[in-house]
Amino acid sequence: MFPTTLQQKLDEKSEVFISSTFRNKWRSQIVQVLFDDICSYTWYPSSEQYNKTCSALVAKYYFLRDRTGKGYESWHEMLKNKFKKERRPLVFIPEIQ
In a domain, 97, yes or no: no
Domain presence at residue 28: yes
Residue 21 lies in a domain: yes
Structural domain tally of the chain?
A: 1
Q: How far apart are CA 25 and CA 14, in angstroms?
A: 13
pLDDT single digits (tens) 20-77: 555 678 888 999 999 999 999 999 999 999 999 999 999 999 888 888 888 899 899 9
Contacts of 30 (CB under 8 A, 6+ apart): 2, 6, 57, 64, 75
Do the domain assignments include residue 1? no
Query: What's the pLDDT tens digit per position in 62-81?
Result: 888 888 888 899 899 999 99
Residue 65 belongs to domain spanning:
9-85
Kindly report the pTM of this predicted structure.
Answer: 0.81
